[in-house]
Each structure stands twice: as structure tokens, then as C-alpha cells.
Amino acid sequence: MSYEKVSQAQNIIVGTKQTVKALKAGDIIELVIAEDADPKVTAKVLQAAKEVKVPVTRVDSMKKLGKACGIEVGAATVAITK
């Protein structure tokens, strides 16, 4: 379900650094995190999402998440923006 949500979203941000910036700016409505991503990579994003109370959805695969974004590589985090 969340893969469809990501692929149908008008505005997304792929990548942890850009996602953390957007979270702090208040531009994110939902965060999607791949379960198979390295926790060291996702920890900072999860913390920022918790601080600004953005809902977090988890999916099982970085590869599928990347594909849903239209990129050829896996994605650890994807943010759906306003």
C-alpha cells in the first residue's frame, strides 16, 4: 500500500539529508522508511520526524521503495511533502 502512496504522490523527497531539512522546515506530511535500511542511516530521520510529530510508515524493501520513486537504486527514506 505505501509503495502505491509514494508512486502516486505529487511531491516527494528521496534521501536522508534533504528529508531532515524538510522535516525541520515543516514541509513533510508523511515519512516512509524501508525496514532493510541501515539503522545508522535512518536514526537521524526518525528522530527528526518524532520531534515534529510526522507519521512514519514502514515498508519492507529499499529496492521496492526506490522503484516506487522512479529511481534505479534503493531508497532508505522517502518523504511525502505538502
CATH number at residue 43: 3.30.1330.30
Residues near 13 by Cβ (< 8 Å), separated by ≥ 6? 19, 22, 28, 78, 79, 81
- Mean pLDDT score of the chain, rounded to an integer? 94
DSSP run (H or E) holding 22: helix 16-25
What pLDDT is recorded for position 15?
A: 85
Q: How many independent structural domains does the chain possess?
A: 1
Domain enclosing residue 68, as ranges: 2-81
53: nearest Cα among 24, 82, 76: 24
What pLDDT is recorded for position 2?
A: 85
Residue pLDDT, tens place only, 36-76: 999 999 999 999 999 999 999 999 999 999 999 999 999 99
Core vs surface per residue 47-61: b (16+ CB within 10 A) or e: ebbeeeebeeeebeb
Answer yes or no: pTM beyond 0.75. yes
